[in-house]
Structure 1
Amino acid sequence: MTLLAAEGLNKAFGGVVAAKDVTFALAAGEMLAIIGPNGAGKSTTFNMVGGQLRPDSGRVTLAGQDITGQPPRRVCRMGVGRTFQVAQTFLSMSVVENVQMALIAHAGRTRDMIARTAALYRPEAVALLDKVGMAADADRPIGELAYGDVKRVELAIALAAAPRLLLMDEPTAGMAPRERANLMTLTAGIAREEGIGVLFTEHDMDAVFAHADRILVLVRGEIIAQGTPEQVRADEQVKRVYLGTTGHKAALRARKAAAHG
């Protein structure tokens, strides 16, 4: 069943066309990657879905409900979570407090924050941390964590809103190769188990080809290919304008790694 549908999205900044007739769909539990060279329109497309940008024309629907141009806060309330290229956390708080803050905000209980933050939603926060493998670090200051662990906490924060759709902007940026693989494997498992659709942008082709169910390739604001990793890898236009020899070899390494578990 289609969870997210983008239909004919167009966006221009002055005379520069950033997105032209971008159309795609995403199913519940599916991982869809948006890739392309710098300036391809990835961020523009991503932000039109998330509400940071209003398309000039076209439509975005979530489970059949029109969310086109809705502000990010309302989009979140409608079931869309998000992680960022640079992790967004409160460094002065503990790990569990960061997740509690997200749960409190989602419940609309911000007036209770000052007096009751320590008690509000702690069991729920610890359960979310357990889901991402961080429950043992619940009471540590988040500033003490390795960056890969901070990204896991950020995933727990995004899950606090019980999203149907998760937007992940460069989720593995700044991480070591093993951390990247672990985070994407974790995300894919949660997505499939809970039926969450995941739309992500990513420059790491190993992560894309190993973990995406489908891939959307943008060049100069237009879709030049979309399909399974195998279909995109075999597309001659994609190889010519984006993957090239280096990217193709990276894709093959990712495929071999996935095949061997």
Structure 2
Amino acid sequence: MTLLVVDRLTKRFGGVAAARDVSFTLAAGEMLAIIGPNGAGKSTTFNMVGGQLKPDSGSVTLAGRPITGLPARAIWRAGVGRTFQVAQAFVSMSVAENVQMALVSRHGRSRSLFTDTRRLYRDEALELLGEVGLRAEADRPVAELAYGDVKRVELAVALASRPKLLLMDEPTAGMAPRERGGLMALTARVARSQGIGVLYTEHDMDAVFGHADRVLVLVRGEIIASGPPEAVRADAQVRQVYLGEAGAAAALRARRKAVA
């Protein structure tokens, strides 16, 4: 079932088109990765879908409902969860309390002076923590966790809103290599079991080609390739873009070494 339809999204900053006629679809339970070199338009596209940027033209439809240009809060209410490149969590609170705060917001409960949020929705929070493998850490302060586990807390917080669509901005950024595959495998398992569409940007190619169902490649704001990971990996234009970028980086390192 098609969950997300992005149609000809365009965004300009001055005379520069950061995204130009970007179109794609995403099915429920599907993992779609957006990749591209720096300045390709990944973040711009991502933020137009999430409501952080308003497109100049084009449309975004979620489960048949137009959400184009709505504020981020309204898009969250429509069923879009999000994680960030730098994990967002209340480090002074326990793991469970972070998830409980998200549940309080979802259920519309007021945080008055007379409400002890630590007592609200604890069982539901523990269930969510079980889904991400952190139930045993429920009462630990987030500040004591390894960064990879903080990323899992953030995922549980995002799932607390029961999203139809999950946006993940560089989900493995800052994580140790051995932790990256675990987080992405967990995300894929949850997405498929709950029918959540996942749209993510990522620089780590193992996280892309090892876990995405489809890959979308942007260069200078335009899609140059889209399809299953192996087809995209073999695409001549994609290889040229990435090999060219790698070659330029190697030449720059050589020049710096020569100057030194």
Once residues 21 and 113 of structure 2 are traced to their aligned partners in structure 1, the CA distance between those partners, rounded to angstroms, is: 44
* TM-aligned CA deviation for residue 245 of structure 1: 9.7
Once residues 74 and 110 of structure 2 are traced to their aligned partners in structure 1, the CA distance between those partners, rounded to angstroms, is: 16
Equivalent residue of 2:5, what SS?
Answer: strand
The equivalent of 2:122 in structure 1 is 122
The runs of 5 or more residues in structure 1 that have no matched partner are: 248-261
Tell me, yes or no, if structure 1 residue 178 matches structure 2 residue 186: no
Equivalent residue of 1:5, what SS?
Answer: strand
The runs of 5 or more residues in structure 2 that have no matched partner are: 248-260
Against the structure 1 CA distance between its residues 243 and 205, is the aligned structure 2 distance closer, same or farther, given a 3 Å change threshold?
A: farther
**Superposed, which structure 2 residues align to 1:106-145 within 5 Å?**
106-112=106-112, 115-145=115-145
Once residues 18 and 240 of structure 1 are traced to their aligned partners in structure 2, the CA distance between those partners, rounded to angstroms, is: 21
* TM-aligned CA deviation for residue 242 of structure 1: 2.0
Tell me, yes or no, if structure 1 residue 202 matches structure 2 residue 202: yes
The equivalent of 1:189 in structure 2 is 189
The equivalent of 2:237 in structure 1 is 237
* TM-aligned CA deviation for residue 244 of structure 1: 5.7
Q: Give yes or no for contact 2:81–2:161 (8 Å, CA) kept in 1.
A: yes
What amino acid is the match of 1:200?
Answer: Y
The equivalent of 1:30 in structure 2 is 30
The equivalent of 2:258 in structure 1 is none
Equivalent residue of 1:111, what SS?
Answer: coil
What amino acid is the match of 1:136?
Answer: A
Once residues 110 and 146 of structure 1 are traced to their aligned partners in structure 2, the CA distance between those partners, rounded to angstroms, is: 32
The equivalent of 2:104 in structure 1 is 104
Deviations along 1:206-248, one digit per CA (max 9) or x if unpaired, are: 110000000000000000000000110111000001256979x
* TM-aligned CA deviation for residue 5 of structure 1: 0.7
Deviations along 1:146-185, one digit per CA (max 9) or x if unpaired, are: 0000000100000000000000000000001110000000
* TM-aligned CA deviation for residue 116 of structure 1: 2.0
Equivalent residue of 1:162, what SS?
Answer: coil
Does 109-118 or 8-17 show the bigger shift? 109-118
* TM-aligned CA deviation for residue 65 of structure 1: 0.6
Once residues 127 and 5 of structure 1 are traced to their aligned partners in structure 2, the CA distance between those partners, rounded to angstroms, is: 31
Equivalent residue of 2:210, what SS?
Answer: helix
Asked which structure has the greater CA Rg, the reply is: 2
Number of equivalenced pairs:
247
Q: Give yes or no for contact 2:111–2:117 (8 Å, CA) kept in 1.
A: no
Equivalent residue of 2:93, what SS?
Answer: coil
Once residues 234 and 202 of structure 1 are traced to their aligned partners in structure 2, the CA distance between those partners, rounded to angstroms, is: 19
TM-score by length of 1: 0.92
The equivalent of 1:258 in structure 2 is none
Tell me, yes or no, if structure 1 residue 86 matches structure 2 residue 86: yes
What amino acid is the match of 2:199?
Answer: L
Q: Give yes or no for contact 1:106–1:160 (8 Å, CA) kept in 2.
A: yes
* TM-aligned CA deviation for residue 115 of structure 1: 2.4
Q: Give yes or no for contact 1:104–1:113 (8 Å, CA) kept in 2.
A: no
The equivalent of 1:151 in structure 2 is 151
Against the structure 1 CA distance between its residues 211 and 137, is the aligned structure 2 distance closer, same or farther, given a 3 Å change threshold?
A: same
Against the structure 1 CA distance between its residues 71 and 182, is the aligned structure 2 distance closer, same or farther, given a 3 Å change threshold?
A: same
Q: Give yes or no for contact 2:29–2:191 (8 Å, CA) kept in 1.
A: yes
Q: Give yes or no for contact 1:239–1:245 (8 Å, CA) kept in 2.
A: no
* TM-aligned CA deviation for residue 118 of structure 1: 1.5
The equivalent of 2:72 in structure 1 is 72
Equivalent residue of 1:90, what SS?
Answer: coil
Against the structure 1 CA distance between its residues 157 and 113, is the aligned structure 2 distance closer, same or farther, given a 3 Å change threshold?
A: farther
Once residues 196 and 112 of structure 1 are traced to their aligned partners in structure 2, the CA distance between those partners, rounded to angstroms, is: 33
Once residues 220 and 134 of structure 2 are traced to their aligned partners in structure 1, the CA distance between those partners, rounded to angstroms, is: 40
The equivalent of 1:255 in structure 2 is none
